[in-house]
Amino acid sequence: MSIIKVEGLSKVFGKNTKQALKMLEEGKTKEEILKLTNSTVGVNRTSFSVEAGEIFVIMGLSGSGKSTLVRLLNRLIDPTEGKVYIDGENLAAMNKKDLRRVRRTKMSMVFQNFALFPYLTVLDNAAYGLEIQGIDKVERNEKAKKSLEMVGLGGYLEQLPAQLSGGMQQRVGLARALANDPEVMLMDEAFSALDPLIRKEMQDELLDLQETMKKTIIFITHDLDEALRIGDKIALMKDGSIVQVGTPEEILVNPANDYVKKFVQDVDRSKVLTAFNIMKRPETINIDKHGPRVALERMKEEGISSIYVTDSKRNLKGYVTADDASLALKADLKSLVTILKTDAPTVTKETLMNAIFEISHNSTVPITVVEDGKLLGIIVRGAVISALAGQSEVNRNHA
């Protein structure tokens, strides 16, 4: 069920907004509109929906309109046109009172530079959203304390924000957003001000928290690696428009246009592509039907020095090498059982490329991709390297 639904949402900054909107309809570019009307297009007729419980990442370079877009979602910025449905209510058309109710109970926000109140203690900061609602002190402190404990700051209740490190300050920001138990959390470049190590730690922690909380999170970032790491879905923005929405894999594997392609070419693919994406159909022989002679012939045909062996139900049994097979043939053995080797490296189809890389480096035979004992495919070392280089066609996961 989608919890947020955005329809034709636009924001034009400036005076001639009507004219600018009309020009957008006519297909004029942002630059032309700026020149002709002196108005800046922040967000250009975007539509998307976000499912409950997913992390929806909006990503783009600075000036792409992503920060404006997220502020349109809780109306920190009023939209020029379009609708924002939260739980079926159109936020864009709400009066102030209803808007406050939605902000208080349904959505909260985490900011790039933390936006903590420097004169309030950590506890009071985390309790701010509850205090605004007029919840009495005992209850709000208890809730705030709980959410601070969730982010690992249970021991810092009476400190002032200035006494904490950046990472800890953002945890307070996170705790403040969690304290009023919202359905939707808007995170505006929430980890961008943190140094890379802390950023990664916070990403992990967010994912851990998400395991139990199952909030709907709209996460803004300019960092593609971050987007790919935490996003269930990614919307890529350029010049105020959403260029593509999809899972991280779809974006990488199937870029909608040259802009997205260019954007993703520098990404660290090893952290996104899985075994499934780069495996190929294996040459196999059947242990129940075939002996060393067939094995040797198959290997000769394919120009390979080892071959995987399965049973009739494609359960992986092991592999045989060309050397062993020819010795067995000379010894006139009929079965493959005695020369079967079972030390083949095995991964699942979800294993990430960077793990596979390590394994393939230490292995002389192709890596097997196995699910429930069945051989799905194999990965040869060349495939790993060309996939990392971004040169190969990769399998698209529609599972």
Partner 1 sequence: MLNFMENIPEIPLAPYVSKFTSWISDTFAFLFDPLKNEFGDGLEDFADMLAAVPPVIIILIVALIAFFISGKRIGLASFSLVGLLLVWNQGLWEELMLSFTLVLVASLLSIVIGVPIGILMSKSKAAESIITPILDFMQTMPAFVYLIPAVAFFSIGMVPGIFASLIFATPPTVRFTNLGIRQVSKELVEASEAFGSTGAQKLFKVELPMAKPTIMAGINQTVMLSLSMVVIASMIGAPGLGREVLSALQRADVGTGFVAGLGIVILAIIIDRFTQSFTGKKRV
Query: Which residue stretch of 34-42, 110-118, 138-146, 249-257 sits at the interface with partner 1 (rule: CB under 8 A)?
Result: 110-118
- Indicate the Cα dihedral angle 98, 103, 107, 109, nearest 10°: 160
The answer to whether 93 contacts partner 1 (rule: CB under 8 A) is no
| Exposure letters 124-140 (e unless 16+ CB within 10 A, then b) | bbbbbbbbeeebeeeeb
Candidates 119, 207, 314, 323; binder of partner 1 (CB under 8 A) is 119
Could you say which residues in the range 47-66 bind partner 1, by CB under 8 A? none
| CA pair distance 122, 157, nearest whole angstrom | 5
Candidates 37, 46, 108, 147; binder of partner 1 (CB under 8 A) is 108
Three-state secondary structure call for residue 127: coil
The answer to whether 109 contacts partner 1 (rule: CB under 8 A) is yes
Candidates 129, 246, 292, 377; binder of partner 1 (CB under 8 A) is 129
Candidates 11, 30, 66, 71; binder of partner 1 (CB under 8 A) is 71
Nearest distance in Å: CB 113, partner 1 = 6
Query: Which residue stretch of 125-133, 305-313, 328-336, 346-354 sits at the interface with partner 1 (rule: CB under 8 A)?
Result: 125-133
Nearest distance in Å: CB 208, partner 1 = 24
Candidates 10, 80, 112, 284; binder of partner 1 (CB under 8 A) is 112
The answer to whether 74 contacts partner 1 (rule: CB under 8 A) is yes
Cα-based distances in Å from 378 to 320, 341, 345, 346, 354: 15, 16, 10, 9, 16
Could you say which residues in the range 150-169 bind partner 1, by CB under 8 A? 160, 162-163
| CA pair distance 297, 11, nearest whole angstrom | 67
DSSP H helical ranges for the chain: 17-25, 30-37, 66-73, 96-105, 122-126, 128-132, 137-150, 166-179, 196-213, 224-230, 248-253, 258-264, 275-278, 292-302, 322-330, 353-361, 381-388
Residues that bind partner 1 (CB under 8 A): 71, 74, 76, 99-105, 107-109, 111-115, 117-119, 128-129, 131-133, 160, 162-163, 176, 180, 186
